[in-house]
Structure 1
Amino acid sequence: MAYRYLLLVARHDAVRIGRTLKGLGPVLAVVVAAAAVAGAVAWAEVPARLSLHGGFVDISAYRYGGRLVLDGLPLYGSRDPATNLRFTYPPFAALPMAPLALLPFWLVTALWTAASVGALAGVILVVGRALRRPVPGWLVALLTAGAFALEPVWQNLTFGQINLLLMLAVLVDLTYPERRWSGVLVGIAAGVKLTPLVFVVLLVLAGRRTTAGRALLAFAGTVAIGFATIPGSARTYWADNLVKAGRVGPPELAHNQSVFGTLTRLLDGVPPTLLWLAVAGPLALAIVALGAVWWRRGDRVLGAGFGALAMLLASPVSWSHHWVWAVPVGLALWTHSRWASLLWTAVFVARPFVWPPWGDRREYGWGPIEHVLGNAYLIAALVLYLWAAVRLRAHGTGPAPGRSRRGSPPRSLPARRDFGAVRGTP
């Protein structure tokens, strides 16, 4: 009897796994295709890969950091010979990069691209489930491929950036905080790139203090691991590099869509630290507070999105490819307002910040219209903040009841629309 029962369970699981893989077939096809293209491009361009736009330069810098760890050399102070870039992340981030230094560049690029595209598809799945809008495999593949049109997404893929992977980790924790170990992924993400610490504030304001505490403990663990494995580099980073915003590039560059970058361009020079804090601090706090309200009222995706926007505005340097959070925010907006979602997405497809002259400090010569275009992502975030605040005010601002068993939205917010309820996708 026990044997027959185990056989029946195994059969049931096999059928369920088969159905899942069948539903995700289009997604796997997109991932494999992207990885194959990335590997072929890297193989063909190894001697002159920097001539390609993007050129996978960031993954090259990651591998260089991993090589320094393997060789026992200081992590900071030198530059990757292939890209002339420094490794700028916390010491903990270099440790998982060490195995990449042992693999050929074309293979690393293919694997990294596959992981990034897979993370993007995972984000779409997580968003759909968090919004109680199941997304079939074909639609996940369609939205994943469509997201390539957004500038932050394709920049991540061509540069070989880590943002898509971190976004998935954070979203899993923020949309499913009831899990036993929720918060750990946020802490690890912060250990890799610091800025996700903003989500700890969001969790506290949203009433998830235990999850926030778990995130802080996980982050402290990453710091301790850094000191235990590469103590010299850890001391250098936390004592010196942490406060050097300019170490990652010129802050006035148009691609820096943060408050610090905007002030630098407006003032034709780096703003005083107190002025930057006086502007960025209250603004980021207001945005993350609004995110906490939306989170508590049932839309955890949009709430997390506002936390991400606060993070992007508060950071001294938020390159345009850091704005991959445009994807989950756009999907969340689609369930509230099609026009808001389409307009939001259009900004990140058009990338107006490169329309004015940029580079070589030409940003210092911008006129009023060029400043509006050149700070498009930041302005879009502020407009979204105003829209969301007005919408909350129109539908009441008191605490909303929790979700029903079927996951229906709070009564005080208008009913959401399915991703596939109308022709077209965001």
Structure 2
Amino acid sequence: MSQAVHPVRQPRAMRGLGPILAVIGAAAVLAGATAWAEIPAKLSVHGEFVDLSVYRYGGRLILDGLPLYGSRDPATGLAFTYPPFAAVALVALEPVPFWLATAWWTAASVGAMAGTILVAGHALGRPVPHRLVALLTVGALALEPVWQNLTFGQINLLLMLAVLIDLVHPDRRWSGVLVGIAAGVKLTPLVFVVLLVLIHRRAAAGRALLAFFATIAIGFAVIPGSAKAYWTDNLIEAGRVGPPELAHNQSVFGALTRLLDVPAPTLLWLAVAGPLALAIVVVGALWWRRGDRVLGAGFAALAMLFASPVSWSHHWVWAAPIGLALWSYNWWASIVWTAVFVARPFVWPPWGQSREYRWGPIEHIIGNAYLLAALALCVWAAVRLSAGGMAVPAADGHASLDQKAHR
């Protein structure tokens, strides 16, 4: 006999959320506008859409029939480091004038941020009005990972939206495919396949793996020589994407490298990052199964950032939906979490040119701010889980099975 389904009793913090978020959003707009106003002056140091230039360079190499790896973009001095499928998927950017590619890419990234807010709000059981979406999207520009994505011309905002769509709706016919394609562009989203298995969505996990292997096959079909070079020689070279000790590398490998004053030994990195990442993705699976699919996906993203040898600060765009989800439980936690990613503390100590090797204890704490904030959040989440009986908003607007069990 089927049980009656009851509406979720929203946490107190969710009541009257619209007016409160409007005020916070307005403040965020001011902060975002201030941060964005400074970007043109900083482009020569922090951006100039260098990653977008490298994406276009990869497309140019494919069109010219040249090897994808082993050379550097003349405009930036950077090499293409993504899997071969990424270059194939982005080849359409190369024939377009750079100014037009920049405008299109920026608009698509901002749209992806707005889409993430919409998807997250709906999954939390609190659909966000369009005007508030616009307000929060502009306010999100104050988050360092977001504005760094825009100034570098990075792809992370687009990948985040694709992954979130699959993870909050894993029972749809094609769910998992977007996760697999995202992993084909950047390998790190493979951690979300683990999450899908842990939440017993094995069909979606299978589709994700099939889509990922399809991206590998496409790479070998289009550029077989470069694909072979990537999967045999380039895959595990952490240093190929930049100095791992740089403060902007907010990963376990980066933190260990700064502590040891030399690149961390592979076995030590795996011994620390592996168990941490696994524990965090398990916490994410438990939160997802308790009903909060946004935080569940967010914790899996944190596991990804912990496990990757290089997690540049602009990879931490998941801070935005995590902050939105945290608002449901504790306003102050959400505000403090967001403030960390607005303040950008990791650049307060001296950084660059290996100056991170001379950091003292306080500088290590400040210089690993993103990593430590994420670790504190995961501890809070685990403690809350162990307390049991928590009420969380379910993705479909109904009580989760765990909530029913505690009635």
For normalisation by structure 1, the TM-score amounts to 0.83
In the alignment, is residue 387 of structure 1 matched against residue 380 of structure 2?
Answer: yes
Aligned to 1:407: 398
The 8 Å contact of residues 292 and 393 in structure 2, kept in 1 or not, is answered as no
The secondary structure found in structure 2 opposite 1:55 is coil
Q: CA RMSD in A?
A: 2.2
In the alignment, is residue 187 of structure 1 matched against residue 180 of structure 2?
Answer: yes
In the alignment, is residue 82 of structure 1 matched against residue 75 of structure 2?
Answer: yes
Q: Identity of aligned pairs, percent?
A: 76
Q: Provide the C-alpha distance between the structure 2 equivalents of 1:289 and 1:373, rounded to a whole number of angstroms.
A: 27
**Could you report, residue by residue, the CA deviation over 1:385-411 in whole angstroms, capped at 9, with x for unpaired residues?**
0111111122348xx999597434667
Q: Give the greater-gyration-radius structure (CA).
A: 1
Find the partner of 2:274 among 266, 275, 281. 281
The 8 Å contact of residues 112 and 158 in structure 2, kept in 1 or not, is answered as yes
Find the partner of 1:329 among 318, 322, 327. 322
Aligned to 1:213: 206
Amino acid at match of 1:96: A
Q: Provide the C-alpha distance between the structure 2 equivalents of 1:228 and 1:192, rounded to a whole number of angstroms.
A: 16
Distance of aligned partners of 1:172 and 1:50 in 2 relative to their CA distance in 1, 3 Å threshold: same
Task: Provide the aligned length of Structure 1 versus Structure 2.
Answer: 369
Amino acid at match of 1:350: A
Aligned to 1:197: 190
4+ aligned runs moved over 6 Å, structure 1? none
**Could you report, residue by residue, the CA deviation over 1:341-400 in whole angstroms, capped at 9, with x for unpaired residues?**
111001000010000000000000000000000000000010000111111122348xx9
The secondary structure found in structure 2 opposite 1:243 is coil
Amino acid at match of 2:113: L
Aligned to 2:247: 254
Find the partner of 1:143 among 125, 133, 136. 136
Amino acid at match of 1:389: A
In the alignment, is residue 360 of structure 1 matched against residue 336 of structure 2?
Answer: no
**Could you report, residue by residue, the CA deviation over 1:121-159 in whole angstroms, capped at 9, with x for unpaired residues?**
000000011111010011000110000000000000000
Find the partner of 2:161 among 165, 168, 177. 168
Amino acid at match of 1:149: A
Structure 1's unaligned 5+ residue stretches are 1-29, 414-426
Aligned to 1:272: 265
The 8 Å contact of residues 125 and 140 in structure 1, kept in 2 or not, is answered as yes
Q: Provide the C-alpha distance between the structure 2 equivalents of 1:181 and 1:401, rounded to a whole number of angstroms.
A: 27
CA shift, 1:337, in A, is: 1.0
The 8 Å contact of residues 395 and 412 in structure 1, kept in 2 or not, is answered as no
**Could you report, residue by residue, the CA deviation over 1:400-423 in whole angstroms, capped at 9, with x for unpaired residues?**
99959743466749xxxxxxxxxx
Structure 2's unaligned 5+ residue stretches are 1-28
- Residues 335-344 or 286-295, more deviating: 335-344
Q: Provide the C-alpha distance between the structure 2 equivalents of 1:308 and 1:210, rounded to a whole number of angstroms.
A: 20
Taking the TM superposition and a 5 Å limit, the aligned residue runs for 1:51-200 are 51=44, 53-200=46-193
Q: Provide the C-alpha distance between the structure 2 equivalents of 1:50 and 1:278, rounded to a whole number of angstroms.
A: 38
